[in-house]
């Protein structure tokens, strides 16, 4: 058994000062200087003080830390003669541990004070004279880091004079080692937590940076789209005006000088005129496509039947040979509330009907069925089904790309791309599927602006 040590070594003030600096650095390394005024309970340290009380037979036990100005009581159990406070802080100058383990008379091992009232180091402490407590017996062992720096103490006290046996001192020293190990585990947990916080902060910083970059890219894309829309409008106007003049003069030449041109000249001029008309149609299609994303979308209640009637009128003779049906399928209870931007919906229906007519089969009458259906979860669906050539399965997504057209003549490969853009602007989706019996069905889904709450 190790002997009890009642040491009173002398040290120079310079050495004591450097020791104190090193000690405080150790406390910082253990993150102990940031302990709050009333620290949270630590189950491991609470177990240490209970064991200290049991093995020594004292009245109270405590684990204290020492910073530059405070004694921080992390764990305590039992009572003494006075007001022995629970976990918290007191003035370091009054601390028994500070008086026994630091300064000129520092003790480096278990130190036992039989009667603190007669010990010159302790007798004027508020823990002894009754201001905080009436400690008479005190036994304290320092808590030191792996590098030997003092962190605090494990102490037991009583209100009457007494001593410790060598066996009790050894157990107190063992428990001090457990307390230091608990503090070290606490430090490692804190380091792990801080590392995790830093990691999460780094992730958040990276996410914010990515968000800012995406916002900047989105703003650049918005400006680019605005510029492209403006460019398309200007180009459409600047190209359309001279092209209209070209078409007009070609018509005049054919009307006035057809007899002078001869068969071959008339054929060549007719070919040029048809090419000019195709170019005019392409310019108009590109302009419509660009403008489909130019203005804000303003959905409101629309009468799809009325919009369809105006579309058929606009298409004129191209729809004359087609039989066009219209059906509404309301939700249970008879409700049907289609919401869409009227101008964009008109463009959508015009493109879908023109596409259906252009891809009709010559061996049977063209039939087109327009169906508006209320969706069970809210929103509505617009389906345009025809009995034409249909769309091969491997092309049903590709047909919505720009400049993709089927085998029928007269298309520019822009109409369905414009349809997808219009439906997407409404927050919906559009798909192509086969029509039973032959043909293609283009199905546009418009989701509700405010989806109903799920049933509880």
Helix, strand, coil: what percent of the chain each, to 5?
A: 50, 20, 35
pLDDT at position 12 is: 43
Asked whether 335 and 375 are in contact (CB, 8 A), the reply is no
pLDDT at position 415 is: 77
Mean pLDDT of 396-411: 65
Greater confidence (249 vs 175) lies with 175
pTM of the model: 0.45
Q: Is the model's pLDDT at 451 over the cut of 50?
A: no
CATH number for the segment(s) 300-446: 3.30.565.10
pLDDT single digits (tens) 301-331? 999 999 999 888 888 887 888 899 999 999 8
Q: Among residues 255, 281, 285, which one has the least CA distance to residue 270? A: 255
Residue 137: count other Cβ atoms within 10 Å of its Cβ: 22
- DSSP-derived letter for residue 397 is T
Q: What's the whole-number average pLDDT of the chain?
A: 80
Please provide residue 62's backbone torsions phi and psi, each rounded to the nearest 5 degrees: -155, 150
pLDDT single digits (tens) 353-378? 988 998 888 889 999 999 999 998 88
Going by DSSP bridges, is the β-strand pair 367-374/323-329 parallel, antiparallel, or unpaired?
parallel
Homologous superfamily (CATH) for 13-193: GAF domain (3.30.450.40)
pLDDT single digits (tens) 90-123? 888 999 988 988 766 566 789 999 999 999 999 9
Greater confidence (141 vs 189) lies with 141
Query: What are the structure tokens assigned to 268, written together?
Result: 């060549």
pLDDT at position 246 is: 79
Q: Is the model's pLDDT at 213 over the cut of 70?
A: yes
Three-class SS string for 194-217? HHHHHHHHHHHHHHHHHHHHHHHH
pLDDT at position 55 is: 94
Domain ranges of the chain: 13-193, 300-446
Mean pLDDT of 392-405: 78
Greater confidence (196 vs 33) lies with 196
pLDDT single digits (tens) 375-387? 988 899 999 999 9
Mean pLDDT of 250-255: 81
Contacts of 45 (CB under 8 A, 6+ apart): 63, 74, 75, 179, 182, 183
pLDDT band at 2 (very low <50, low <70, confident <90, very high): very low
Compute the distance between CA of residue 318 and CA of residue 6 in angstroms, rounded to an integer: 113
pLDDT at position 8 is: 38
> What percent of the chain has pLDDT above 70?
76
Mean pLDDT of 245-271: 81
pLDDT at position 11 is: 40
Contacts of 41 (CB under 8 A, 6+ apart): 75, 87
């Amino acid at each position: 058994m190790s002997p009890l040590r009642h040491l009173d070594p002398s040290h120079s003030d310079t050495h004591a000062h450097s020791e104190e600096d090193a000690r405080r650095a150790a406390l910082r390394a253990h993150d102990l200087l940031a302990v709050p005024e009333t620290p949270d309970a630590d189950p491991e340290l609470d177990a240490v003080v209970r064991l200290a009380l049991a093995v020594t037979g004292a009245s109270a036990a405590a684990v204290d830390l020492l910073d530059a100005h405070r004694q921080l009581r992390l764990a305590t159990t039992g009572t003494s003669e006075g007001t022995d406070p629970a976990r918290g802080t007191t003035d370091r100058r009054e601390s028994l541990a500070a008086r026994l383990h630091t300064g000129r008379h520092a003790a480096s091992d278990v130190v036992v004070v039989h009667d603190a009232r007669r010990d010159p180091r302790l007798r004027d402490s508020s823990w002894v004279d009754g201001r905080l407590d009436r400690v008479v017996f005190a036994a304290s062992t320092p808590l030191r880091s792996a590098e030997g720096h003092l962190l605090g103490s494990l102490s037991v006290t009583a209100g009457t004079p007494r001593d410790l046996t060598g066996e009790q001192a050894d157990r107190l020293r063992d428990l001090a080692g457990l307390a230091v190990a608990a503090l070290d585990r606490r430090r490692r947990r804190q380091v792990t937590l801080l590392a995790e916080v830093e990691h999460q902060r780094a992730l958040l910083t990276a996410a914010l940076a990515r968000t800012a970059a995406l916002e900047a890219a989105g703003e650049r894309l918005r400006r680019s789209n605005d510029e492209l829309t403006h460019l398309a409008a200007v180009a459409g106007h600047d190209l359309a005006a001279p092209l209209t003049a070209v078409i007009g003069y070609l018509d005049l030449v054919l009307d006035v000088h057809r007899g002078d041109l001869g068969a071959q000249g008339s054929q060549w001029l007719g070919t040029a005129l048809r090419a000019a008309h195709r170019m005019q149609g392409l310019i108009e299609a590109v302009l419509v496509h660009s403008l489909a994303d130019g203005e804000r979308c303003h959905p409101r209640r629309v009468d799809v039947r009325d919009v369809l009637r105006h579309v058929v009128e606009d298409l004129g003779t191209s729809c004359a040979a087609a039989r066009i049906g219209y059906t509404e399928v309301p939700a249970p209870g008879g409700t049907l509330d289609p919401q869409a931007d009227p101008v964009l919906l008109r463009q959508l229906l015009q493109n879908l009907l023109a596409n259906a007519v252009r891809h009709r089969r010559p061996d049977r009458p063209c039939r087109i069925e327009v169906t508006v259906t209320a969706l069970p979860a809210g929103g509505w669906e617009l389906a345009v089904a025809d009995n034409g050539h249909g769309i091969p399965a491997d092309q049903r997504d590709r047909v919505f790309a720009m400049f993709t057209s089927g085998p029928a003549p007269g298309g520019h490969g822009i109409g369905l791309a414009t349809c997808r853009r219009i439906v997407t602007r409404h927050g919906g989706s559009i798909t192509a599927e086969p029509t039973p019996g032959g043909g293609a069905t283009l199905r546009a889904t418009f989701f509700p602006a405010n989806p109903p709450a799920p049933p509880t």
